[in-house]
Amino acid sequence: MIFNIYKPIGWTSFNVVKKIRGITGEKKVGHGGTLDPFAEGVLIIGTGADTKKLTGISGHVKSYRAVLKLGIETDTLDLEGNAIKSAHVPNLDEADVQQTLISFLGDYEQTPPMYSAKKINGVRLYKLARQNKTVEREPSVVQIHQIVLNGIFEDKIDFFVTCSKGTYIRALGMDIAKKLGTVGHLVELQRIAVGDRKIQDSIKIEEFEAEWISTVH
């Protein structure tokens, strides 16, 4: 079966997989695209034979709402990391910020963050990052299909983005900050769609558990 689960903040994607495995009793459970622990929203879960469908699902276009805080960059590029850089935040003109966001539309070359699950020579980058090691990463070409400014709040930019598989929104946030002449990190990230599976149709883990128990019994 395929489920559209609402991943809460603070859970890893694997935590959700483990929880669903415990609820359903299915040995084979997987997810269709990692969502960072600080992020929340749509996480597609597959069980049993349907785990084979997850590869196709993970390739679908994804949509996010993100909040980028300017002036400080962290090693993880999100609010869970340690500050490594600071810079002056320029006056943010709405038209300039909109133009900066629009400049990322289409093909965009992006370097994967050190704190990511991407493997280099068989080792996940985050494992090297935790040992304070930095390695050369080849940039990947990703696609930004839509990017919209939701609002500017003092030193924060709230935006919506629809993008291809393999896009790191944390790295996009860093690149947006750089183009604005400063540094930044994400303080909020919400995945609002994976293909046609939307956040309004997702189910919270406790609701899923209650429904599962009532169906089984």
- Residue 158 is among the residues annotated as catalytic for this protein: no
Distance CA 76, CA 83 (A): 9
- Picking from 144, 145, 151, the residue whose alpha carbon sits closest to that of residue 67 is 151
Report yes or no: 63 and 191 within 8 Å, Cβ to Cβ: yes
43: part of which helix (H) or strand (E)?
Answer: strand 40-47
| Burial class, 176, CB count within 10 angstroms (exposed 0-12 / middle 13-18 / buried 19+) | buried
Report yes or no: 199 and 182 within 8 Å, Cβ to Cβ: no
Q: What is the DSSP letter of 78?
A: B
Active-site residue (options: 36, 75, 78, 175)? 36
Which residues are part of the catalytic machinery?
36
